[in-house]
Every structure is written in C-alpha cells, then in structure tokens.
Amino acid sequence: MLIGFAGIGRMGRPMARNLVAAGHAVLGHDPAVDEMPDGVTPVTDAAALAEAPISISMLPDAASTRELVRGGLAAAGPDHLHIVMGTVGPEVVRELAEGGPVAIVDAPVSGSVSLAETAAITTMVGGAPDLVERARPVLAAMTSAQFHTGPVGTGSVAKLAMNAVLGLLSQGVAEGLLIAECGGLDPAAFYEVLRNSAAGAPYVGYKEKAFLEPDVAGVAAPVSLIRKDLAMALELARRGGAGVPASEVALAVLDEAVAAGLGEQDMARVLSALRMRARSTDGGGRPVTESGAEVEATIRGLEDARYDAVLRGDFPAFAALSHPRLTYTHSNGSVDTLDSYREKVESGFYVYHRIDHPIDRVVVEGDTALVIGEMHADITAGGTRKTLANRALAVWVRVDEGWRLIAYQPTVLPDGGRSGVRVSR
C-alpha cells in the first residue's frame, strides 16, 4: 500500500522504516530532515501525501498537525484516511475530524525510540470502528498492540492520562533515590530492590541506567517532551474541573528542569532537578534565598520556554507557565485573559511564524521579576500577515508552583526598528 508519512523525527524515522520493512511504499515529508530512511521516497510538498489512500503524521504539536491536514491534505478528499500519531491533544484531533477535509483517527504511541525501532511500541486508537479497522494493518506494521479506546480523540486522552502517570512515576523513582541517598543507601542497591518490588513497573526496569548513569545512558524521551504532555494533561483536567495536585507538583519540577537547561536531556534527569531543589534548602528544610543571578537564569529560561510554546502553537505548555489571572496586552491595544488568548490561539486567529525576543535586563524584587527587552515576530492575526517590532515588558510572579507569567505589555517601536537593546540570553 502507498502511505504518506509526515514527521521523520526521533520517533517517526524508525516507524517509517518499519512500514517499508512490512512491504509498504512510503512517501516521506519533513522539511527539517536532509535524508530519509532507506526505502522512503522524499516529497518536498506536503500535498504529495494526498496521493496515498492513507497518511500518517508524527508531528510535535497541534499547529503543525492542523497545517498539514487543512493545508497539505486539503485536496485529498473524504475517502483519504489520516492517522494522527503525534501527541497533539484531543481538541485539535476532534476539530479536524469534524471539519477537516479527510477522515481522521488518532493513534498516539507509548514507548521509547529503541522500542519503535523493533515495532514494540503500542498505540491507543480513537475513531469510528470502520476507520480503526482500516488503519489497524498499517498500525500493526509499526506497533505491537493497538488498543481501540473509543471515538476519535480518546486515543489522545488516553495518551495524556498515561503520560501523567509516567511523569509521576518518574518523579517517584527520583524521590526514592534521593531518600535512599539521604539515608546512606547506595543508589544501585536501592534500585535493585525497587526493580524487584511491588513498585517495579516495566518503566522502572528499563530506566535504570538513565537514573543511575545519566551521562552515558542516552536520551529515550526528553524532559521537554514529557513536560509538554503533562502540561496538556493538566489543561485537560482543569477544563474538566478535576484537581490533580501531584501532577501540578511534577510539572513544576519539570519546569525547573527546563529552566536549568535540561530540556533535551532524558526525562530521568528529573532527578537532577530535584537535587538542585535540595541544594536550595538548608539542613532543616528551610528555603535558602536564591541569588539574583540564579533567579535571573530561571526567568530567562522560562521566557525561552513560553515563547517557544507560542511559536509551536502549544497552548497547554504556555498555559502551564502562566498565572490564572494573566493579563496579555497586544501591540494594537487589545487585551486578553488567559482564556480569551487560548481561544484565539487554538482557533488559529493568532499564528506565530517567527519570534525573536532579545532581553535587555531582568529586574527581581522579592517574588516579582520584570523582563525588559524586545519582541520581534512574523505572525498571522485574523488572517492578515504582520511583522511585529515591539519593546516588551513581561511580569513574572513567584507562587507555590514556581514562577508564572502574570502580565505582558508590548509597545510598538518607531519605524519598526530595534531600539538598541543589548541581546543577552
């Protein structure tokens, strides 16, 4: 069968390779990749994927998935089946299924890159029964099990709920190791006990090297990825009115890991983030005041993370960094709350194509931090392409969960030029 595949990244590459090994002809599309896996035919235009009766996306976020389906597959027709395998959230999947140009099922996966290489990952599939059965032979070439979870979107719900458990399990292992170390127990000895105990889930077994020898273990799933998924899971829980305090704490620690520069390290590096947190308290558990330089480094990392989330169209990640009472002002004078900004981003009213945000200085006063700099961007707002050149002020406040963005205020620069701000990132 001819199959289109968009997103030949860390997970997509072995998955596309397994489709070829199963005898399928594969068209691969990924502008960020210079070389396709053996047997995959490269196509530069996403529209070429519409030539196949079935296409697959393994893309990192909702924005790129929406662009592929509504743009690249616009002419494919309703008989074309598109399988969304990236973790992009149930909302965008249901949106595309209800109003998109093609039939949709969502089938996000569980497992690491090494498991993907041997087609040992599993998938949770949401969709109408006839569409799921049509997709199953294709999915079986890449996965060891396919679980039909219900209507379209439920596969993505299952993935977010499962990764919330995974994030908590990862933090639980890390905290257990810290407790063992504090009591003078060798970490390797403790890990052997843990692996063979009632808490010894499969994850505990195959992550042993990542926790005990992180510098040589390699990266199976980066901190930034599990952080993105946990943020989406929390957003889903908040919309449903559920309180998930343990997940909120786990996300705060992952935020700290990202701010510390561990975003592209393996998710087991949550242990490093907890060790950093331990060093910020004295022997009695009382907080040690952070230096101005430490706070500034944290805030700079969070600024990078929130702009990156906006650029990727990953609003759950942005929301997780924001205060519930966020006031977000735009350069045209309009003002959004967190909820109204979410509606505009998720509806496609705002689409960000490029963002540069040089920082002049960070001013910290108690539990408030001011970020003074600039914001230059190419965006689409209400269907109109625009170039922004703004002086910018961002206000962060420290709450129990960590630092959160509470206000943003841009001012248009004269003649669209730079003001001479010193770039310091």
Domains and CATH numbers, the chain: 2-151 (3.40.50.720), 157-279 (1.10.1040.10), 310-416 (3.10.450.50)
Please classify residue 398 by burial: count the beta carbons closer than 10 Å to its beta carbon, then call 0-12 exposed, 13-18 middle and 19+ buried.
middle
First CA to last CA across the chain, in angstroms? 49
Q: In the predicted model, is pLDDT for residue 21 greater than 60?
A: yes
User: What is the per-residue pLDDT for 112?
Assistant: 84
Give me the mean pLDDT over the 183-194 stretch: 95
81-84/103-106 β-pairing: parallel
Q: pLDDT: is 154 or 266 the higher one?
A: 154
Using pLDDT thresholds of 50, 70 and 90, give the confidence band for residue 392.
very high
Q: Report how far residue 80's alpha carbon sits from residue 53's, in angstroms, rounded to the nearest whole number.
A: 5
pLDDT at 291: 62
Measured in residues, the chain has a length of 425
Residue 414 to residue 169: CA distance in whole angstroms: 51
Dihedral over alpha carbons 15, 16, 19, 21 (to 10 degrees): -100
Across the range 360-381, mean pLDDT stands at: 93
Question: Which of 107-116, 139-148, 364-373 has the highest mean predicted lDDT (pLDDT)?
Answer: 139-148
Tens digit of each residue's pLDDT (9 = 90 or more) over 303-313: 998 998 888 88
Instruction: Return phi, psi of residue 178, to 5°.
Output: -65, -45
How does residue 286 score in pLDDT terms, banded at 50, 70 and 90? very low
Which pLDDT value is given to residue 55? 97
Mean pLDDT calculated for residue range 53-82: 93
Which residues are known to be catalytic? 159
User: How does residue 401 score in pLDDT terms, banded at 50, 70 and 90?
Assistant: low
> For residues 165 and 230, what is the distance between their CA atoms, to the nearest angstrom?
9
| Model pTM score | 0.72
Chain position carrying tokens 């209400």: 382
Q: What gap in Å lies between CA 5 and CA 169, rounded to an integer?
A: 32
